[in-house]
Amino acid sequence: DSGVTQTPKHLITATGQRVTLRCSPRSGDLSVYWYQQSLDQGLQFLIHYYNGEERAKGNILERFSAQQFPDLHSELNLSSLELGDSALYFCASSTSWESGETQYFGPGTRLLVL
């Protein structure tokens, strides 16, 4: 158990809908990262937040957004969902924002868009 929690574990929804994925980092960690893992594209970095502020953006679509709240949990919002958004979504946390900090991954949320 990494100490990172993600809810829900599974999510089934329809195209065009909007969903929110939630992540609670390890106690004391200030950084949260979001990743998408699909069969054809592997692990893709989406976005990184540190202590409530966006630090880096990866291949995140405009239909997707994220935020980190004062209690340090983070939410990833996916809107206007398409079939191709079906994937595993992981969040990870680390102590600080610096490169070289160990990232601890949560168990993931499996999203299926029908």
**Amino acid identity of 13?**
T
64 touches other proteins by CB under 8 A:
no
Task: Give the whole-angstrom CA distance, residue 107 versus residue 110.
Answer: 9
Nearer Cβ to other proteins (4/11):
4
Query: Site residues for other proteins, window 2-21 (CB under 8 A)?
Result: 2, 4
Nearer Cβ to other proteins (67/79):
67
Burial 59-76 (b: 16+ CB within 10 A, else e): ebeeebebebeeebebbb
Nearer Cβ to other proteins (27/99):
99
The gap from C-alpha 104 to its chain's centroid, in whole angstroms, comes to: 12
DSSP 101: P
39 touches other proteins by CB under 8 A:
no
52 touches other proteins by CB under 8 A:
no
The gap from C-alpha 81 to its chain's centroid, in whole angstroms, comes to: 16
72 touches other proteins by CB under 8 A:
no
Of 72, 78, 103, 113, the one binding other proteins (CB under 8 A) is: 103
Task: Name the minimum Å distance from CB 71 to other proteins.
Answer: 21
